[in-house]
Amino acid sequence: MPYISLNPATNKTLKTYTSWDNHHLSTALRHAYDAQRAWIQTTFCARAELMNRAAMLLHERVDEYAGLMAVEMGKPLREGRAEVEKCALACDYYAVHAEHFMQTEMVQTDANKSYVSYEPIGIVLGVMPWNFPFFQVIRFAAPALMAGNGCVLKHASSVPQCALALEQLFRDAEFPQHLFTTLMIEAADVVEAIASHHVHAVTLTGSETAGREVASHAGQHLKKCVLELGGSDAFIILKDADLEQAANFAVRSRFQNCGQSCIAAKRIIPVAEIADAFVSLFIGKAADLKMGDPVNETTQLGPMARLDLREDLHQQVTDSIAQGAQAVLGCEPTPGEGAFYPASILDRVTAKTRAYHEELFGPVAIIIRATDEEEAIHIANDTRFGLGSSIWSRNSEYAEKLAQQIQAGCSFINGMVRSDPRLPFGGIKASGFGRELSYHGIREFTNIKTVWIR
């Protein structure tokens, strides 16, 4: 089947690409393996020079890449530029810090000399989603390449132009040919790539279903695996919170990227004393978002990435309303061409609704009112997901104590959940395992080797 690049704002086809056959795939994997064998011998200084060059190209091409994301997956230009700049930041970060993160650690034992070394593992297969088509790739590729690994990318089939642009980026930065390769393969062929003896580890960002399948195959072939899956992040507002600030960040966190983010504030949980006041502010600010063509500089909310995703989201919404949730803003698809869905809010969501238990991957916020802080923490943990969380309070020390009770990979106090190259990123429970970014991320795909000498 062909790869189809579709503009979600118009539902018109931009380009089509032919998928590879098995011979093409096996040849590409072999070339990547050969390139990585030579790459191991390079110094960190030499790797850093190329990675800095990639960062420079990202800065130079920020408008080009933002425009590509706008037409291929519907990301507004201002958000696309921010994504490209974040990619450059990650490249620069690992160019500077990789050598230190990979430094041999001397350990005192009964040996004359003993230490722990970090050695590259080989070829890392990245199975990546469409929602952040550049940063999701860079955040695994930059540390993996700086560690001495090679990378092969199976990107989402709906963003082939972004996938090929990333391959060209590393080629133009003068990384060795084939060291970073985009695999133009179907989802079914991922299994063959995992099974190949040329692939040594797998990292996936995507749905819980995809994660379970990839992890299963990686386990069968004894390949190291890192998964960053879905999330249904709690956004807790305590009675002493700055409601204006909390409402501003709730809108930004929930509706950026048209709500298509694993770490969006998907479950808004205000305590009873301030619930009415907060919800009123939140509705007003969400209603002011300007929806439109993502290539328009004033657009704040573009289309969803595909029509089928919009249909799935709306079914979750209509089912939840039938189960007792109240639609207080939006909650109806926008008529006309494209996959547009307005900023929407469901209030009075309870455990009897789909919205309470499922991830809503689109521009729909759900309000779950808590009687007090204790119930707010219970609601935050009453989910199979465990990616991010945030708490809003003027008493940050008290909020920090509450955050320690939340089962999630990260907790932010008076700030929206986001990834940062300096901090590890990942989840627990059905949100996956393993970590990306920081020194934790670069060491995930290394052989942590003990050396003992007498």
Alpha carbon separation from 250 to 309, 330, 438 (Å, rounded): 23, 17, 26
224 three-state secondary structure: strand
Longest dimension (CA), the chain: 75
pLDDT average per 10 residues of sequence, the chain (454 residues): 90 96 97 98 98 98 98 98 98 98 98 98 98 98 98 97 98 98 95 97 97 97 97 98 98 98 98 98 98 97 98 98 98 96 98 98 98 98 98 98 98 98 98 98 98 98
Alpha-carbon torsion (355, 360, 365, 369), positive or negative: positive
pLDDT at 192: 96
Nearest to 299 by CA among 35, 67, 39, 127: 67
Predicted local confidence at residue 406, as pLDDT: 98
Say what the pLDDT of residue 79 is. 98
**pLDDT computed for residue 3 by the predictor:** 87
User: What pLDDT sits at residue 213?
Assistant: 97
Identify the residue whose tokens are 């560690």: 147
Non-local (6+) Cβ contacts of 386 within 8 A are 231, 407, 408, 409, 427, 428, 429, 430, 431
CA 245 – CA 285 distance, rounded (Å):
11
Query: CA 399 to CA 34: how far, in whole Å?
Result: 51
Query: Would you state the pLDDT for residue 2?
Result: 77
Tell me, what's the pLDDT at 149? 99
Among candidate residues 166, 94, 34, 45, the one with its CA nearest the CA of residue 445? 94
| Element spanning 116, H or E | strand 113-120
Residue 186: phi and psi, rounded to 5, are -80, 165
Catalytic residues: 228, 262
The pTM of the full predicted model, rounded to 2 decimals, is: 0.97
